[in-house]
Structure 1
Amino acid sequence: MAFTRATGKHRRASRTARTTRNLAGIATLAASGVVASVASPALAATGESTSHDTGLQHAVELGDELAVHLEAQADAQQAVAEVNAARAKAEAEANRLAEGAKKKAEEAKKKAEEVRAAKARAAREAERRLLNAFVAPVTGSYVSTGYKASSGLWSSGSHTGIDFHAASGTPVHAVGAGTVVEAGWGGAYGNNIVIKMNDGTYTQYGHLSSFAVSVGQTVTPGQQIALSGNTGNTTGPHLHFEARTGPDYGSDIDPIAYLRAHGVSV
């Protein structure tokens, strides 16, 4: 049997109302013989039929107590239901907040990974550009003697490189990225450096006054490797520069064409 009650502030029904409801219930019970069985002892004891001393009155009181008990039970059930509903609502809100926080954390992690990946790509691209870049061996200078110029000054009868105007002590730079394969005395070249470039070609720097690198060292484009000078077979201080297909004398190629092919204006 289900018990319901109106919403709003609960007030217990008056005794008269409860008695009326209980009498209606007892009338039903009477039809099944329950009241008769309850009332019989009382009637047998007194032999009277007053409304206060009959078994019917006792049944009404029992019904009233049952109604109070059921009402209290209904209140307790409603309180439990309200607590459960509040708990469920709180759990749902906590889950919602947790999901939101998790989603934000995942988005932040994804964004951080994207930023790291972008930085890594930029670093690789910068490194690639650096390794592929070329510069002039002497900043702000010019070619004072061209390639294959004829003169008795050279044993081969012609110039195997180009000369850059440079006073003694002028910084000399690696024209590109590579590894130093020679740094020392080079006979007619005086103090010289030979670098194997990353593209497999070689560059030579002659008549130096001092070295800033040693054999086996890797260099980057524009890195200072020496100071220009007047050592070896010269008529004055300058930088002798050669581009070669190999590390040794006689493998020279046009250094101006070589530099221009790598984007250097000479």
Structure 2
Amino acid sequence: MAFTRPTGKHRRPSRAVRVGANVAGIATLTAAGAVAGVAGPAFASDGAPHTEDTGLTQAIVIGDDTADRVDAQAETQRSAADEAAARLQAETAAKKQAADAKRHADEAKRKADAERAAKERAARDEERKRLNTFVLPIEGSYVSTGYKASSSLWSSGSHTGVDFHAETGTSVHAVGAGTIVEAGWGGAYGNNVVIQMSDGTFTQYGHLSSIDVSVGQTVTPGQQIGLSGATGNVTGPHLHFEARTTAQYGSDIDPVAYLRAHGVDL
């Protein structure tokens, strides 16, 4: 008789059930043999019928133990595979999280670097603008004697600079950024300061009552370099201001035009 098994995963019946069923089957086979013996002439010599030990019970028990071990091994393998998959998933997630964190950190650093660079550029531009600024040598003053004015007071016969009105002790400022190339007594100019400007020209400040800078020192626009006075060849306190192409006497240019060309309202 053929048995049809439904498809799908199933468990073997328990050992006790299988053994019981096998014993029942053997008993059935034994009974059938006994009936056949009654119908035929074959009887044991001692007159008592007995069944043959076929070994079916032992074979079935051994097969079931093997199946149980196979099932247990398969379950262990499935558990190991599940653990490996979970571990791989966790590692992948951790790597992605680390990559995301690094990307965010790199982006934040890039933005910070860009902002810092922008601030540095702005500061440099501001400093450059400030250094390129020119101011009056005496704040709020005016020209009392013009350029090239004629008089016997000057050895050349004409004024080589301009005079700014100022009382003794008035603050005198560098008109722009530059380096001090002369600071001390200048003969007819009295106490004087000469500055080489950042554009390569020179400016001179004469008749000072005191000097606040020294040779080699750098100055910025509006920085105080001394106080006005009446030292040297003068008739009264004022500031003598010259613009020159060199540091030497005789290379003078129009000081008013020079200051106006550098943006000074005069």
TM-score by length of 1: 0.79
Deviations 1:120-176 (A, max 9, x none): 322332332233221111112121221122233323232211111112111111111
Matching residue of 1:129:
129
Q: 1:200–1:61: structure 2 CA closer, same or farther, 3 Å change rule?
A: same
The change in CA–CA distance for 1:145 and 1:63 in structure 2 (over 3 A counts) is same
Distance 1:54 1:122 in 2: 103
Aligned pairs, how many? 232
Q: CA deviation at 1:16?
A: 7.6
RMSD between aligned alpha carbons? 2.5
Unaligned runs of 5+ residues in structure 2 are: 1-7, 23-48
> Which residue is equivalent to 1:15?
14
The change in CA–CA distance for 1:155 and 1:62 in structure 2 (over 3 A counts) is: same
Alpha-carbon distance between aligned partners in 2 of 1:18 and 1:155, rounded to the nearest angstrom = 139
* Alignment map for 1:106-125 (pairs within 5 Å): 106-125=106-125
How far off its partner does 1:18 sit?
Answer: 7.5
CA shift, 1:228, in A, is 0.8
Partner of 1:66: 66
Describe the shift of the 1:15–1:256 C-alpha distance in structure 2 as closer, same or farther (beyond 3 A): same
Q: 8 Å contact 1:179–1:197 — kept in the other structure? A: yes
Gaps of 5+ in 1: 7-11, 24-45
Larger radius of gyration: 2
Could you say what secondary structure the match of 2:222 adopts?
coil
Shift of 1:13: 5.2
Give the letter for the 2:51 counterpart.
E
Structure 2 equivalent of residue 191 of structure 1: 191
Runs of 4+ in structure 1 over 4 Å off: none
Could you say which residue in structure 2 is the equivalent of 1:98? Answer: 98
Q: Which residue of 2 aligns with 1:259?
A: 259
Q: Report percent identity of matched pairs.
A: 65
Partners of 2:9 and 2:144 in 1: CA distance: 111
Identify if the C-alpha distance between structure 1 residues 108 and 13 changes in structure 2 by more than 3 Å, giving closer, same or farther.
same
Q: What TM-score do the two structures reach when normalised by structure 2?
A: 0.79
Distance 2:17 2:93 in 1: 43
**Distance in 1 between the 2:145 and 2:56 partners?**
138
